[in-house]
Amino acid sequence: VLILHAADLHLSEAERDYTFPILDEIVGIAQREEAGLLLFAGDMFDSFQDLERLHGELRTRLECLRPACRVLMVAGNHEHLRAPEAAVDAMRRMSFGRAQLLSQEPFQVVPPEGESGVEVVGLPHRLRYTDYLTWAVPPPAAGRARVVLAHAALTGASYLGPDPEEAPSVMDVDLLERLGADYAAMGHLHTPKTVKVGGVTVCYPGSARVWRKGEAGPRGVSLVNVGQGPLRLRRVRLATAGEYRLVPVELGLEGDAPDLDRAAAGWGPRDAVDIELSGLVEDEHAAERTRAALEIRYRGRVRLLEVRLASVSSIAGISRNALAARYLELWRAREAEIEAAHGPEVARRVLRAGLDKIKTILETRKQVSA
């Protein structure tokens, strides 16, 4: 069966216009590829309130799926954020239409459907899974592949460490092996990652959207063929998710920025662009003017734009200082040569390193004379 596996969409009321088109794109991929199973591995909603307010909208958006496509999901830690005590009972009373929420603790077995169907074991999100050795999980049905659907970080494999900013919820990979899973459809880690542990292919498709700063690289879902011959896995990119792009910019002495239009031509309208200005400048007001100008220039071109003064330091009159003047004179004589050999970025960094050194010398002198 062809499975479309997505995770961590974090649908939210505040970002309705950003997140729902991504859901539509995922549904469109399931249609185009004729997926037989659509799995959502948790954090479909950004909080319990978002789940309460938006689950009807989710129901509507899933209606167009062909009847042969089954939709299963588990809750993640975010569906429990700011949730009332009986959150799981509340979730069970909600109607998700085409989607079935696997909420039975600690696991829920969904028997295969049709001749080529796979068996799915849902593990609703918990803070701890340490009692798993006592779970009475039946062995996989004869001749059927088993898929585990879960939302957790994993231990037992050092390269799958927990996300430091997220809730603990760590699962031992041994649990996945004991369940006899062929494929573990995981959510929780926002960076895409696939590893083979014993006989289990463990896959995190990563967040289906840019959820916070630093989530760089294309967002996507996994398309996996399970149950017919060897497991085949491929990644499909989500165009509507855009990308997070960190753009480091080194300012010149006058607070001037290099031309960013070439780089900006590669930015998409759904991207989150984070321009980080650094450098040593004569006048910090000039740096602030550059910052404001860049904001005006690129605002509206991307979904989110931030232009920040990250590590800009200023030293007034440095170009009039004898030592600095001599250094700048030597620098200008060799600037073209260094730029040609190493590119403008390296050239700016070399200039900055020299001026930083001079700044330190001047400051030390001041302290000594004071």
Q: CB 261 → Mn ion: shortest distance, Å?
A: 35
Which one of the spans 7-15, 87-95, 122-130, 297-305 is the region binding Mn ion (CB under 5 A)?
A: 7-15
Nearer of residues 8 and 79 to Mn ion, judged by Cβ: 8
Q: Are 183 and 172 contacting, i.e. CB atoms less than 8 angstroms apart? A: no
Nearer of residues 8 and 282 to Mn ion, judged by Cβ: 8
Nearer of residues 220 and 255 to Mn ion, judged by Cβ: 220
Q: CB 43 → Mn ion: shortest distance, Å?
A: 4
Number of residues that bind Mn ion (CB under 5 A): 2
Nearer of residues 43 and 250 to Mn ion, judged by Cβ: 43
Which one of the spans 4-12, 21-29, 123-131, 292-300 is the region binding Mn ion (CB under 5 A)?
A: 4-12
Nearer of residues 112 and 206 to Mn ion, judged by Cβ: 206
Q: CB 76 → Mn ion: shortest distance, Å?
A: 6
Alpha carbons 152 and 77: distance in angstroms, whole number: 9
| Site for Mn ion, residues 344 to 363, rule: CB under 5 A | none
Helical segments of 63-200, H only? 87-93, 173-178
Q: CB 51 → Mn ion: shortest distance, Å?
A: 13
Q: CB 165 → Mn ion: shortest distance, Å?
A: 10
Residue nearest to Mn ion (CB): 43
Q: Is 215 one of the binding residues for Mn ion (CB under 5 A)?
A: no
Which one of the spans 5-13, 21-29, 126-134, 304-312 is the region binding Mn ion (CB under 5 A)?
A: 5-13
Q: CB 8 → Mn ion: shortest distance, Å?
A: 4
Which one of the spans 2-10, 63-71, 136-144, 315-323 is the region binding Mn ion (CB under 5 A)?
A: 2-10
Q: CB 190 → Mn ion: shortest distance, Å?
A: 6
Nearer of residues 188 and 245 to Mn ion, judged by Cβ: 188
Nearer of residues 46 and 271 to Mn ion, judged by Cβ: 46
| Site for Mn ion, residues 115 to 154, rule: CB under 5 A | none
Q: Quick one: tokens of 168? A: 């603990």
Phi, psi of 234, rounded to the nearest 5 degrees? -140, 160
Q: CB 84 → Mn ion: shortest distance, Å?
A: 21
Q: CB 188 → Mn ion: shortest distance, Å?
A: 6
Which one of the spans 1-9, 67-75, 313-321, 336-344 is the region binding Mn ion (CB under 5 A)?
A: 1-9
Nearer of residues 190 and 352 to Mn ion, judged by Cβ: 190
| Site for Mn ion, residues 33 to 72, rule: CB under 5 A | 43
Q: Quick one: tokens of 115? A: 């001749």
Cβ neighbours of residue 326 under 8 Å, at least 6 residues apart? Answer: none
3-state SS string for the chain: CEEEEECCCCECCCCHHHHHHHHHHHHHHHHHHCCCEEEECCCCECCHHHHHHHHHHHHHHHCCCCCCCEEEECCCCHHHCCCCCCHHHHHHHCCCCCEEECCCCCCEEECCCCCCCCEEEEECCCCECCCHHHCCCCCCCCCCCEEEEEECEEECCHHHCCCCCCCCCEEEHHHHHHCCCCEEEEECCCCCEEEEECCEEEEECCCCCCCCCCCECCCEEEEEECCCCCCEEEEEECHHHCCEEEEEEECCCCCCCCCCHHHHCCCCCCCEEEEEEEEEECCHHHHHHHHHHHHHHHCCCCCEEEEEEEEEEECCCHHHCHHHHHHHHHHHHHHHHHHHHHCHHHHHHHHHHHHHHHHHHHHHHHHHHC
Nearer of residues 43 and 50 to Mn ion, judged by Cβ: 43
Question: Exactly one of 2, 3, 6, 8 binds Mn ion (CB under 5 A); which one?
Answer: 8
Q: What are the residues binding Mn ion (CB under 5 A)?
A: 8, 43
